[in-house]
Homo-oligomer: A and B are copies of this chain.
Amino acid sequence: MKKINEEDTSIKISPEEIQSEFYKILLKYGFKKRKALQCSEIFTQNSVDGVYTHGVNRFPKFVQYIKDGWINVNAVPSLKSSVGAIEQWDGNLGPGILNALHATDRCMNLAQKNGIGCVALSNTNHWMRGGFYGRKAAKKGFVFIAWTNTIANMPAWNAIDNRLGNNPLVIALPYKDDVIALDMAMSQFSFGAMELKALKNERLQVFGGYNKKGKLTDDPSEIIESKRPLPIGYWKGAGLALLLDILAAVLAGGLSTYEISRQKAECAVSQVFICIDLKKLNNYSLIASTVNNIINDYLQSSPVNKKEKIIYPGERTSANRKKNLQDGIPVLKSIWQEILNL
């Protein structure tokens, strides 16, 4: 594989310029103004937060999906059923970002009324970065738990072929003037992360999968070749991925990983959102100090290596935001050119 130096080919572009370019492109592909604004903002903010894989870098693929007809740009979700604190919505193959935003809003609304709320969404598209919705709900004072199923991209435990999705799980809640937000797929590394490492000729930090000979390996090229990425915790992550898929399909009345995988593209996925309104709880006034105390204790951990700071999930985001807002968002020249050509 060719060795590249990312720095050589990376340029810095202001969030405003990126968002404005996205907005123009989305209008061109049929988005209404308000929706083009929302989508372009979230793609941009994901990159500001440092999640480039589901921000700027993913935008060309999103547009390709629109061109190929997998995403109905102006479809809106429709309510299928409502029972108590649960709503089931059909995403009607609209843009995954807008459907997930809608589901998050509905879910917070249900939680405001019932303490806890659940929205299950069928027939939707990739939400890009689940952490975005988690952060949004957490900033408004909610506990947020959500997951999505995906195309099959990971084997069951003791299996060779991919029949499980890596089904990202998001958990977020308020913390100080920010949030704690965990956003994790069930695979140890995404294929995107492994491809980047492979291009740079780097090894993974830990084993990331099996090679073709069935040996655990930290060589990303070998895993890309074998298509056998490792679930987190081996049999445990595989089990959790299976359960998240079943619950998504069952609760949303939507497609499961094996059905998604039989289509020609990863679309019509199923998602579950659960919100809890912390303000409704009797102990609300104590919650901020409970969270502070836990994080304070956690951050007092003795580091293995003093250079590696102990951080909580989502902590890097603030630093990324600060840097990217100041310096601009790093974008590979080739990707920016691809976007300008859309």
Q: Which residue of B is nearest A184, CB measured?
A: B236
Query: A230 to nearest B CB, angstroms?
Result: 9
Report yes or no: A232 in contact with B236, Cβ–Cβ below 8 A: yes
Report yes or no: B243 in contact with A313, Cβ–Cβ below 8 A: yes
Report yes or no: A83 in contact with B294, Cβ–Cβ below 8 A: no
Could you say how many copies of this chain the assembly holds?
A: 2
> For the complex, is A308 an interface residue (Cβ under 8 Å from B)?
yes
Of A12-20, A273-281, A329-337, the segment with at least 4 beta carbons within 8 Å of chain B is A273-281
> For the complex, is A5 an interface residue (Cβ under 8 Å from B)?
no
Report yes or no: B304 in contact with A250, Cβ–Cβ below 8 A: no
Report yes or no: B173 in contact with A247, Cβ–Cβ below 8 A: yes
Report yes or no: B286 in contact with A253, Cβ–Cβ below 8 A: yes
Contacts of A283 in B (CB 8 A): 81, 88, 250, 253
Within 8 A of B (CB), among A223-256: 231-234, 236-237, 239-240, 242-243, 245-247, 249-251, 253, 256
Q: Mark A276-303, 1 if CB is under 8 A from B, else 0.
A: 1010111100110011011001101111
Report yes or no: B239 in contact with A158, Cβ–Cβ below 8 A: no
> For the complex, is A75 an interface residue (Cβ under 8 Å from B)?
no
Complex CA gap A253/B233 in Å reads 30
> For the complex, is A114 an interface residue (Cβ under 8 Å from B)?
yes
> For the complex, is A108 an interface residue (Cβ under 8 Å from B)?
no
> For the complex, is A263 an interface residue (Cβ under 8 Å from B)?
no
> For the complex, is A193 an interface residue (Cβ under 8 Å from B)?
no
Q: Which residue of B is nearest A279, CB measured?
A: B83
Chain A contact residues, CB within 8 Å of chain B: 80-81, 83-86, 88, 113-118, 143, 155-161, 163-164, 169, 171, 173, 180, 182, 184, 188, 205-206, 214, 216, 231-234, 236-237, 239-240, 242-243, 245-247, 249-251, 253, 256-258, 274, 276, 278, 280-283, 286-287, 290-291, 293-294, 297-298, 300-305, 308-310, 312-313
Query: Can you list 7 A-B pairs with a CB-CB distance of less than 8 A?
Result: A84-B280, A86-B115, A143-B247, A246-B291, A251-B276, A256-B290, A258-B297
